[in-house]
């Protein structure tokens, strides 16, 4: 019988994320089964009611089977199917509404985050623009001083015509 191989050591310089177990939660964060059942019942009360109604119809069908009343047995089995279908629809409806509610909540949180980030970005962009504008104005002022100090442009003669040899083209 061969020994199982040990897992390969990670490559040098490669970091791996630690595996974080989602279960079990710390004791103070765990909810009991009664708390969970109460919370779920409040979220979607039709599912547990449908569950009990379906179970009741199944129990009645079992009683009628034991008593030998086959027409009543079929009656209660049909009701079980109907109640089970209603329960499944309630489950789907509850899951859908829960999802829609969470999506809306997440979208609202995202909109608030984007608005705060957008406002911060706009303020940062305004600050950078004001800084660039001040630098441009300072450079323009320095260029104006340099032009005034040099007098006329060296490429122009006294008549105001250019001395550049390529101008005839």
Report the alpha-carbon distance of residue 135 to residue 132 in Å, rounded: 5
What pLDDT shows up at residue 119? 79
Beta bridge pairs of residue 162: 156
Please indicate, yes or no, if residue 64 is contained in any of the structural domains. Answer: yes
Alpha carbon distance 150, 157 (integer Å) = 14
Q: What's the pLDDT at 115?
A: 77
Establish if 98 belongs to a structural domain: yes
Q: Which domain holds residue 125?
A: 41-148
8: which DSSP letter? P
Residue 105, in any domain of the structure: yes
Q: What is the pTM of this model?
A: 0.45
* Residue at 3 is within a domain: no
In a domain, 102, yes or no: yes
pLDDT in tens, 51-106: 999 999 999 999 999 999 999 999 999 999 999 999 999 999 988 887 878 888 88
Instruction: Tell me if 144 is assigned to some domain.
Output: yes
What pLDDT shows up at residue 27? 72
**Integer angstrom CA distances of residue 57 from 60, 61, 91:** 5, 6, 19
**Tens of pLDDT, residues 117-155:** 777 888 888 999 999 999 999 999 999 998 888 875 544
Q: What total of structural domains would you count in the chain?
A: 1
Q: Does residue 74 fall inside a structural domain?
A: yes
Does 164 reside within a domain?
A: no
pLDDT per position as a tens digit, 19-51: 555 566 677 778 888 988 888 888 888 888 999
Structure-block tokens of residue 54: 């379906």
Confidence bin at 165 (pLDDT 50/70/90): low
Euclidean distance between CA atoms 159 and 169, whole angstroms: 20
Query: Which pLDDT band, with edges at 50, 70 and 90, does 17 fall under?
Result: low
Calpha distance 167→169 (Å, rounded): 5
* Residue whose pair of structure tokens reads 């310089």 in the numeric block: 13
């Amino acid at each position: 019988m061969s020994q199982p191989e040990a897992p390969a050591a990670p490559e040098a310089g490669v970091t791996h994320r630690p595996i974080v177990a989602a279960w079990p939660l710390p004791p103070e964060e765990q909810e009991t089964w009664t708390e969970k059942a109460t919370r779920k019942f409040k979220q979607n009360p039709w599912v547990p009611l449908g569950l009990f109604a379906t179970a009741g119809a199944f129990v009645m069908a079992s009683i009628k089977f034991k008593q030998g009343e086959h027409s009543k047995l079929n009656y209660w089995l049909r009701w079980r199917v109907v109640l089970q279908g209603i329960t499944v629809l309630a489950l789907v409806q509850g899951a859908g509404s829960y999802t829609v509610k969470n999506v809306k909540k997440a979208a609202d949180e995202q909109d608030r985050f984007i608005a705060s980030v957008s406002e911060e970005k706009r303020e940062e962009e305004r600050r950078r623009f004001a800084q660039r504008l001040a630098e441009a104005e300072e450079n323009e002022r320095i260029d104006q001083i340099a032009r005034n100090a040099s007098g006329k442009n060296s490429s122009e003669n006294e008549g105001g015509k250019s001395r550049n040899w390529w101008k005839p083209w």
